[in-house]
Amino acid sequence: MEKMLTNKDLLGLQETSKEDIELILDTADMMRHILDSPTKRTAHLAGKSVVLFFLENSTRTRLSFEMSCKYLSANSSNISASGSSIHKGENLYDTVKTIDVMATDLLVMRHNQSGAPHMIAPLVDASVINGGDGMNEHPTQALLDMMTIREHKGQLDGLRVAIAGDALHSRVVRSNIWGLSKMGAEVRVAAPPTMMPRHLDHMPCIVTHDVREACEDADVVMGLRVQLERQKSALFPSIREYAHFFGIDEEVLACAKEDAIIMHPGPCNHGVEMPTSIHEHERSVIHEQVSNGVAVRMAVLYLLQARRNYQ
Amino acid sequence: MEKMLTNKDLLGLQETSKEDIELILDTADMMRHILDSPTKRTAHLAGKSVVLFFLENSTRTRLSFEMSCKYLSANSSNISASGSSIHKGENLYDTVKTIDVMATDLLVMRHNQSGAPHMIAPLVDASVINGGDGMNEHPTQALLDMMTIREHKGQLDGLRVAIAGDALHSRVVRSNIWGLSKMGAEVRVAAPPTMMPRHLDHMPCIVTHDVREACEDADVVMGLRVQLERQKSALFPSIREYAHFFGIDEEVLACAKEDAIIMHPGPCNHGVEMPTSIHEHERSVIHEQVSNGVAVRMAVLYLLQARRNYQ
Amino acid sequence: MEKMLTNKDLLGLQETSKEDIELILDTADMMRHILDSPTKRTAHLAGKSVVLFFLENSTRTRLSFEMSCKYLSANSSNISASGSSIHKGENLYDTVKTIDVMATDLLVMRHNQSGAPHMIAPLVDASVINGGDGMNEHPTQALLDMMTIREHKGQLDGLRVAIAGDALHSRVVRSNIWGLSKMGAEVRVAAPPTMMPRHLDHMPCIVTHDVREACEDADVVMGLRVQLERQKSALFPSIREYAHFFGIDEEVLACAKEDAIIMHPGPCNHGVEMPTSIHEHERSVIHEQVSNGVAVRMAVLYLLQARRNYQ
């Protein structure tokens, strides 16, 4: 029998096993071939409905999921906060239940509250994919990061991955810590003291305030977006100082291995997390990350639906 | 020969015959089977274009139509007020004519002015479906209500349907009065004096200010959304008082038949029109209403297109 | 071998040869037949991805491209300014590169900065179609104008085309001057002095401030939209005066040939550029322009993809 995901939903990598992560990454490699073929279309999800329910602004994640749906021949429909009845004060459960009973198979959900998809998933028939919840997780982003690293480094086990930046507001860092550590990589997080959440001490990662230290002999150097729009108060004195102490420049890069790859979840604040010269560096795989994002999302949609078909 | 709808458009149930309503409900029952099958896809509207032109916010109605289109393999495109040129001051006729001449077959239209689709329909080649016009009609909502009632009660003829709430701002109540009365049901409307439009006296329904009186021996108890966003001035002293006098609670429900079903067009203001315990009551069919909404809209799209094909 | 477009992108008619314009117009005539057939669907772009990236409001152009995609079985996805991450301050190149690497084949782009698509096109793999850039060009609009004129007049060579109105803010006028003059038509532009850009003196057209003079013996009389929303300061004393001096009325129309056709890119400010009686005149081809817009866009999408397939 074909391998199958353990859970009905993909809520986070904290609750996803190593075997399931491997299954998704292997399937994503196959999806990559479809994307690289002249006709990027399969009938795997024909007649299935996917609703993309994004209550926070998004370009790349929403578009990536939408295109993934189309490459699999699924029906996809968008619901965003603007133009919907959410402003009428409709509660989340009612809205999601409404979507669910319209014969929806897969529900991709982005919400500004941590844990929102976890609350919703057990209450609906559709399989829920977390497209980012507050400051908690963004599992498909970490999966595409892992896919990209694996492509370049052959495996994840034994690698050293340095992640630098605003760890406080970043759901990307949390998903990557859970996922990468399960796959045997060492994750080092460097953030200013004001941007380092305390719970990171209890997560499988090494914490430092020195970006050079984090990058020492690293195989991967990843910048995190400074979520300027999510900050309620100033968490660093100035952008210039942030860039100086936590930005990834040639000097920081020199601490890492000679063949270390450069990553960023995007969109990058050029000159803050890294200068444009690093963003477009020959060892930068930032555009590949975006490209692999489509393959990873196709894999997740495909595998969750396969599990539904079997039941 | 197969049965066919009388009119080119579906503008309201006031102008729809009993026979046409029955045809839509019977067709919706068949569409229900498609929705319940593993592959929810038919080719009935392949190569046909549906434009969803919503000038008021909407989640469920817009999504319901969009998914209906996709289950029938129609091409559907969204136009909403935000992001369109409507803000440039384009007049309605010009906008709709523009949509029409792009080879559009079916035009679903929501507008905040009562009668807008009635004005437009004779001027365009596309078949127009009223997705809600001001305080006038919302025919597909009433049709899905009727489908749901018929499913539970076997027929509509001879039933007593109590509708409680803000009848003044509700297009749902008007479409239900026209539709249900044509099908032989008795409709009773209970609303506060300030929310009871005078023209209801001339419509085929029984009017009262006492929600318990309306629910006496009723087969169906339906709450109406308090359209807080459409009220220009306060029409009731407080939400608490409204809930007390016009909300549907266990006590009100006890006036109705023992097997009376509970309905609401959604989204519900919990604690206003009814408490959550009634909304999620074992006799509540509110989620079924949403689900049947897709089947009804598939039926309407299919039947209007069938009529076009024949001509 | 089949004929093929010279360039990877369609950025403007200034850089498009007469032969390429003819190829697009001939292909559009064939697409017209598909649109007029009962099933408006071809598989020409099945498995291809088109992203509609509109950073300015648009109803008709966006919808026209979207429906064109669907008639060709392409996957189309919308990105607009609202609801996207553009507000996060993402730079244009990063956004477009993101779209590009998601296996996008064709990118339709509207931007408020003149030259934005010209900057982007060489940097991406996707073929870029300019859907309107600032005050520079709107090539598919001019192509649909030319298609409509050719339909009515048989050919473009030797025709006299009068264009009246706000030439300063109009990208439509610029694309039409480049396109029509290449096809051998004489273009005359009439605008108030404050709305006449100086660079028009160096373009292949005749400039005047007298709309009657421009229309003398004209085969085509085209009004331009007064871009009230783009004007930073008042460029004419009053709408009434504008309508009087530059509006197209029966008197102006009488200067043109007896069988002159009336055009407008829409949406029209009724009573400003022309009264409703001219807009709906028996010689008005305004609705045909919209309809032909779909055929022209299908042709452009088809031809650019054909060029990609060949490489």
Where is B25: in which H helix or E strand?
A: helix B18-36
Identical topology for domains B18-138+290-310 and B141-285: yes
DSSP state of A266: S
Q: Classify domain B141-285 at the CATH superfamily level.
A: Aspartate/ornithine carbamoyltransferase (3.40.50.1370)
Q: Where are the alpha helices (DSSP H) in A154-193?
A: 171-182
The mean predicted confidence, pLDDT, of chain A is: 93
Q: Which residues on B lie below 8 Å from C64 (Cβ)?
A: 102
Q: Which residues on C lie below 8 Å from A63 (Cβ)?
A: 51, 77, 79, 98-99, 102
Nearest CA to A190 among A159, A156, A213, A170? A213
Nearest CA to C224 among C235, C24, C232, C291? C235
Question: pLDDT value at position B311?
Answer: 77
Question: Taking residues C51-61, what's their average pLDDT?
Answer: 91
Do the chains contact at C90 and A290, CB–CB below 8 Å?
Answer: no
Chain C interface, mutation test: which of A45, A54, A60, A75, most C Cβ atoms within 10 Å? A60
Do the chains contact at C101 and A290, CB–CB below 8 Å?
Answer: yes
Question: Taking residues C58-76, what's their average pLDDT?
Answer: 95
Reply yes or no on domain B18-138+290-310 having CATH 3.40.50.1370.
Answer: yes
d(CA A76, CA C119): 32
Do the chains contact at B293 and A48, CB–CB below 8 Å?
Answer: no
B128: left (phi over 0), alpha (psi -120 to 50) or beta: beta
Q: Is the dihedral of CA B208, B61, C81, A286 positive or negative?
A: positive
Tens of pLDDT, residues B245-296? 899 999 999 999 999 999 999 999 999 999 999 999 999 999 999 999 999 9
d(CA B11, CA B139): 7
Q: What are the structure tokens assigned to A294, written together?
A: 């489509």
Q: Which residues on B lie below 8 Å from C70 (Cβ)?
A: 49, 75, 77
d(CA C294, CA C242): 32
Rounded to 5 degrees, what angle do the CA atoms B69, B70, B73 make?
90
- Helix, strand, or coil (residue C105): coil
d(CA B13, CA B99): 25
Question: Taking residues C263-272, what's their average pLDDT?
Answer: 94
> Is C230 a residue whose pLDDT tops 70?
no
Cis peptide before A117 (omega within 30 of 0): no
Question: pLDDT value at position B1?
Answer: 57
Least confident interval from A108-117, B160-169, C182-191, C228-237: C228-237
Q: What is the dihedral of CA A166, A167, A170, A175, to 10 degrees?
A: 150
Using an 8 Å CB-CB cutoff, list residues of chain A that contact chain B.
Answer: 46-49, 51, 75, 77, 79, 82-91, 94-95, 97-99, 101-104, 309
> Is B83 a residue whose pLDDT tops 60?
no
- pLDDT band of residue C242 (cuts 50, 70, 90) is confident
Distance to chain C for B83, nearest Cα, Å:
5
d(CA C79, CA B86): 18
Using an 8 Å CB-CB cutoff, list residues of chain B that contact chain A.
Answer: 35, 38-41, 54, 57-60, 63-64, 66-67, 70-71, 80-82, 228-229, 266-270, 287-288, 290-291, 293-294
Pick from C38, C82, C228: which is nearest to B82 by CB?
Answer: C82
Furthest-apart CA pair in chain C: how many Å? 57
Count CB-CB contacts under 10 A for residue A72: 25
Pick from A59, A64, A228: which is nearest to C95 by CB?
Answer: A59
Contact present, B309 and C38 (Cβ < 8 Å): yes
C76 φ, ψ to 5°? -125, 140
B89 φ, ψ to 5°? 90, 15
Q: Which residues on B lie below 8 Å from A309 (Cβ)?
A: 38
Looking at chain B, the whole-number percentage of residues with pLDDT higher than 90 is: 81
Q: Which residues on C lie below 8 Å from A140 (Cβ)?
A: none
Distance to chain A for B293, nearest Cα, Å:
8
Percentage helix, strand, coil for chain B under 3-state DSSP, each rounded to 5: 45, 15, 40
Q: Is the dihedral of CA C4, C5, C6, C7 positive or negative?
A: negative
Least confident interval from A156-165, B73-82, B116-125: B73-82
Burial group, residue B277, by CB count within 10 angstroms (0-12, 13-18, 19+): exposed
Contact present, A92 and C119 (Cβ < 8 Å): no
Chain A: residue whose CA lies nearest to B80: A83
Helices and strands (DSSP H and E) totals, chain C: 11, 9
Contact present, B143 and B28 (Cβ < 8 Å): yes
d(CA C194, CA C166): 9
> Is C228 a residue whose pLDDT tops 80?
no
Pick from A49, A89, A94: which is nearest to B266 by CB?
Answer: A94
Tens of pLDDT, residues A3-45? 999 999 999 999 999 999 999 999 999 999 999 998 898 999 9
Contact present, C13 and C139 (Cβ < 8 Å): yes
Looking at chain C, the whole-number percentage of residues with pLDDT higher than 90 is: 81
Question: pLDDT value at position B80?
Answer: 86
Q: Where are the alpha helices (DSSP H) in B188-284?
A: 211-215, 239-246, 250-253, 276-279
Using an 8 Å CB-CB cutoff, list residues of chain C that contact chain A.
Answer: 46-49, 51, 75, 77, 79, 82-91, 94-95, 97-99, 101-104, 309
Pick from C41, C267, C288: which is nearest to B46 by CB?
Answer: C41
> Is A46 a residue whose pLDDT tops 60?
yes
Q: What are the structure tokens assigned to B52, written together?
A: 């969803």
Do the chains contact at C88 and A39, CB–CB below 8 Å?
Answer: no
Q: What are the structure tokens assigned to B298, written together?
A: 């598939």
Do the chains contact at A46 and B67, CB–CB below 8 Å?
Answer: no
The secondary structure of C210-277 as a DSSP string is: -HHHHHTT-SEEEE----GGG-SS--SS-HHHHHHHHS--HHHHHHS-TT-EEE--S---BTTTB-HH
Q: How many CA atoms lie within 13 A of C242 on its CB side?
A: 27
> Is B91 a residue whose pLDDT tops 90?
no
Distance to chain C for A84, nearest Cα, Å:
12
Do the chains contact at C77 and A57, CB–CB below 8 Å?
Answer: no
Domain C18-136+290-310, architecture per CATH = 3-Layer(aba) Sandwich (3.40)
> Is C308 a residue whose pLDDT tops 70?
yes
Question: pLDDT value at position B234?
Answer: 66
Chain A: residue whose CA lies nearest to B65: A102
Using an 8 Å CB-CB cutoff, list residues of chain C that contact chain B.
Answer: 35, 38-41, 54, 57-60, 63-64, 66-67, 70-71, 80-82, 228-229, 266-270, 287-288, 290-291, 293-294
Question: pLDDT value at position C2?
Answer: 78
Question: Taking residues B182-211, what's their average pLDDT?
Answer: 94
Question: Taking residues A272-280, what's their average pLDDT?
Answer: 95
DSSP state of B259: T
Do the chains contact at C59 and B86, CB–CB below 8 Å?
Answer: yes
A50 φ, ψ to 5°? -120, 130
What's the Cα-to-Cα distance from C237 to each of C60, C189, C192, rounded to whole Å?
30, 20, 11
- Comparing B197 with C84, the larger pLDDT belongs to B197
> Is C236 a residue whose pLDDT tops 80?
no
Q: What are the structure tokens assigned to A305, written together?
A: 């639906």
Chain A: residue whose CA lies nearest to C75: A70
Q: What are the structure tokens assigned to C211, written together?
A: 């709309």
Chain A: residue whose CA lies nearest to B290: A98
Question: pLDDT value at position C88?
Answer: 55
Question: Taking residues C71-89, what's their average pLDDT?
Answer: 78
> Is B38 a residue whose pLDDT tops 90?
no
What's the Cα-to-Cα distance from B195 to each of B170, B225, B229, rounded to whole Å?
10, 12, 14
Question: pLDDT value at position A230?
Answer: 61
- pLDDT band of residue C259 (cuts 50, 70, 90) is very high
Using an 8 Å CB-CB cutoff, list residues of chain A that contact chain C.
Answer: 35, 38-41, 54, 57-60, 63-64, 66-67, 70-71, 80-82, 228-229, 266-270, 287-288, 290-291, 293-294
The mean predicted confidence, pLDDT, of chain C is: 93
Q: What are the structure tokens assigned to B21, written together?
A: 């309503």
Q: Which residues on C lie below 8 Å from A270 (Cβ)?
A: 91
Contact present, C211 and C184 (Cβ < 8 Å): no
- pLDDT band of residue B84 (cuts 50, 70, 90) is low
DSSP state of A52: E
Question: pLDDT value at position B107?
Answer: 98
Structural domain spans, chain C: 18-136+290-310, 139-285
Question: pLDDT value at position A1?
Answer: 56
Q: Which residues on A lie below 8 Å from C98 (Cβ)?
A: 59-60, 63, 266-267, 287, 290
Question: pLDDT value at position A147?
Answer: 98
d(CA B211, CA B242): 11
Do the chains contact at C101 and A287, CB–CB below 8 Å?
Answer: yes
Q: Which residues on A lie below 8 Å from B57 (Cβ)?
A: 83-85, 87-88
Domain A139-285, architecture per CATH = 3-Layer(aba) Sandwich (3.40)
Question: pLDDT value at position C87?
Answer: 53
Write the ipTM. 0.93
Nearest CA to B268 among B256, B280, B250, B253? B280
Spatial CB neighbours of C68, under 8 Å, sequence gap ≥ 6: C294, C297, C298, C301
Where is A297: in which H helix or E strand?
A: helix A286-310
Furthest-apart CA pair in chain B: how many Å? 57
Do the chains contact at A85 and B58, CB–CB below 8 Å?
Answer: yes
Q: What are the structure tokens assigned to A310, written together?
A: 């079997």
Question: pLDDT value at position A80?
Answer: 86
Distance to chain B for C79, nearest Cα, Å:
10
Tens of pLDDT, residues A180-210? 999 999 999 999 888 898 899 999 999 999 9
Chain B: residue whose CA lies nearest to C279: B94
Which chains sit next to B, with 3 or more Cβ pairs under 8 A? A, C
Tens of pLDDT, residues C97-130? 999 999 999 999 999 999 999 999 999 999 999 9
Burial group, residue C310, by CB count within 10 angstroms (0-12, 13-18, 19+): exposed
